[in-house]
């Protein structure tokens, strides 16, 4: 599931930063790309990893999504800060830095979402 989030994040970053919104910074594009990946990961995790039944009410689904998104907000902050350090301070290529930043944010996201977002 996580690999699909990496692909979504990388493609969204490229599209937002290079193809559509060249006027905005790579960091702003990163935040939007990360949220795309969060939504993607929620859908896959909710249906496959944690096997939530499709009979969940809309309210239960929304509550899980909001909990997951709240947990991942710090993961997005970790990834965005890491991207800034890697590109602006250390001079890494944007896309290599993004892969590293995703890995750092993922550690937080997986651990905390497992404990908080999918509690029964």
- Enumerate the domain spans of the chain: 2-116
pLDDT level of residue 74 (50, 70, 90 thresholds): very high
Tokens at residue 33, please? 């790309």
Exposure pattern of 63-80 as b/e (b: 16+ CB <10 Å)?
Answer: ebbebbbebbeebbebbb
Q: Is 1 helix (H, G, I), strand (E, B) or coil?
A: coil
According to the model, what pLDDT value does residue 102 have? 95
pTM score of the predicted model: 0.87
Tell me how far apart the alpha carbons of residues 107 and 75 are, in angstroms, rounded to a whole number. Answer: 8
pLDDT level of residue 25 (50, 70, 90 thresholds): confident
CA atoms within 13 A on the CB side of 18: 8
How does the average pLDDT of the chain come out, rounded?
88
pLDDT level of residue 96 (50, 70, 90 thresholds): very high
CA atoms within 13 A on the CB side of 82: 19
Mean of pLDDT values over 51-77: 85
Say how far residue 5 (Cα) sits from the centre of its chain: 7
Say how far residue 65 (Cα) sits from the centre of its chain: 13
Higher pLDDT, 119 or 120: 119
């Amino acid at each position: 599931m996580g690999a699909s989030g990496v692909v979504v994040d990388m493609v969204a970053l490229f599209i937002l930063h290079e193809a559509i919104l060249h006027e905005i910074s790579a960091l702003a594009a990163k935040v939007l790309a990360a949220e795309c990946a969060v939504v993607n990961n929620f859908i896959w995790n909710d249906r496959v990893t944690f096997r939530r039944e499709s009979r969940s009410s809309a309210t239960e689904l929304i509550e899980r999504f909001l909990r997951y998104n709240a947990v991942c907000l710090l993961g997005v902050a970790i990834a965005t800060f890491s991207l800034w350090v890697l590109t602006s301070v250390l001079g890494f290529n944007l896309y290599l830095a993004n892969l590293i930043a995703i890995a750092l944010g993922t550690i937080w996201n997986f651990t905390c979402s497992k404990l908080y977002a999918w509690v029964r």
